[in-house]
Amino acid sequence: MNEAFLRACRGEATRPVPVWLMRQAGRYLPAYQEIREKVDFLTLCKTPRLAVEVSLQPVDILGVDAAIVFSDILIPVEAMGMGLEFHEGEGPVLEPPIRTERDLKGLHPIDPALDLPFVLETIRILKKELSNRVPLIGFSGAPFTLAAYMIEGGTSRSFVNTKRMMFGSPLLFFQLMELITDVTISYLRAQIRAGVQAIQIFDTWAGILTREDYDVYALPYVSRIFKALEGSGVAGIYFVYNGGHLIESMARSGADVIGLDWRIDIETAVSRLGRDVTLQGNLDPCVLFLPEEEIKARIDSVLRQGRKARAHIFNLGHGILPEIPYKKAKLMVDLIHELSA
């Protein structure tokens, strides 16, 4: 197996530096687009044969150093009792939004083996298909991010409903967070039993919080998840979008690897956290619109900064954009391996 990714997760400096991409199985790949023309997004997530196919595409086409299970962070939320739809150009719609104690009582814990068998079957098939070529990453949404989606009923610019509950009905908010955290722990444990070798927790919306609020309303629940997974033998990665102001708190989460978005450079992160840290990231996805020589220079800069950390896993500072030509993504992966060898 190409173990560079797992070695880096364990804090070992590797040459070349391993690379994978958030949303690496996605709309920028023509092979993915061909499948999506035939099925909707949720059907793709829930059909193991197809989910395996799109999970393998970036491994075969780009040569990344890890595969990630194709799914969505909101899949377990639907299993908890919420209606879930994805509308093109609008994102997810969850109904009914969780705003009251009565709404909360409509939710329930899950049994991943019974409620999400398609995810676990996808993992088992992927393990066989990968044949130990590269490690397999599982994932979940972080409790705060899932709660925000559930309270808002989808995406939001202001998250006014989420913050209204946090500050106006904190006991209700904490009850929701406890339920989501329990569900997430059981879901990730099931993924680990099925065969993933690392997990990433995505906290897409925690960046809307001040550090003071993050430490109260988000961090304790993420920390409980990583604590619950101790001894599982898998590496844990924690990524907060727009979370540069939170990295000192993120470093206390219990994660093995801290993912950075592009708004904070790695050198600054190391200066704030110290060198004894493993970092993942963090090229701005839009850099891939630049000419080849400028892309090379930007990649080289990220790699040079990454050498200041204990270990470095290269990634974009968020998911790869659908508009990125896949040949640019392939170029990026090749350059990372070449420049860091």
Q: What's the pLDDT tens digit per position in 173-191?
A: 999 999 999 999 999 999 9
For residues 287 and 41, is the Cβ–Cβ distance under 8 A? no
Under DSSP, the state recorded for 139 is E
Residue with tokens 């299970």: 69
pLDDT value at 88 more than 90: no
pLDDT in the model for residue 48: 98
Predicted local distance difference test score (pLDDT) of residue 216: 98
Instruction: Give the percent of the chain with pLDDT over 70.
Output: 100
Q: What phi and psi, each to the nearest 5 degrees, are found at residue 51?
A: -60, -40
Average pLDDT for the chain: 97
* Segment 267-307, tens digit of pLDDT: 999 999 999 999 999 999 999 999 999 999 999 999 999 99
251 contact partners, CB below 8 Å, separation of at least 6: 258, 273, 277
Determine the distance from the C-alpha atom of residue 38 to the mean position of all C-alpha atoms in its chain, rounded to a whole number. 26
Q: Residues with catalytic annotation?
A: 23, 27, 36, 72, 149
Q: What is the H or E stretch that residue 192 is in?
A: helix 170-194
What band does 340 get if pLDDT is binned at 50, 70 and 90? very high
Task: Decide if pLDDT at 94 tops 80.
Answer: yes
Rg from Cα positions in the chain: 19
Q: Is the pLDDT of residue 1 over 90?
A: no
Q: What is the DSSP string of 23-64?
A: T-SSTTSHHHHHHHTTS-HHHHHT-HHHHHHHHHHHHHHH--
**Rounded alpha-carbon distances, angstroms, from residue 249 to 179, 211, 253:** 23, 8, 7
Predicted confidence (pLDDT) per residue in 102-138, tens digit: 999 999 999 999 999 999 999 999 999 999 999 999 9
Alpha helices, DSSP H only, in 229-291?
Answer: 247-250, 266-273
User: How much of the chain, in percent, has pLDDT values that exceed 90?
Assistant: 98
Token pair of 265 as six digits: 């450079």
The rounded distance, in Å, linking the Cα atoms of 164 and 151 is: 10
pLDDT of residue 41: 95
Domain ranges of the chain: 4-339
How far from chain centre, in Å, is Cα 256?
Answer: 14
**Amino acid residing at 203:** D
Confidence class for position 24, pLDDT limits 50, 70, 90: very high
H-helix or E-strand containing 327? helix 326-339
Whether the pLDDT of residue 237 is over 90: the answer is yes
**What is the CATH number assigned to the segment(s) 4-339?**
3.20.20.210
Position 35, amino acid? I
pLDDT digits (tens, 9 = 90+) for 193-202: 999 999 999 9
The C-alpha torsion from 236 through 246 and 219 to 257, rounded to 10°, is 10
Task: Give the model's pLDDT for residue 29.
Answer: 98
Whether 89 has a pLDDT exceeding 80, the answer reads no
Contact residues for 291 (Cβ-Cβ < 8 A; gap 6+): none
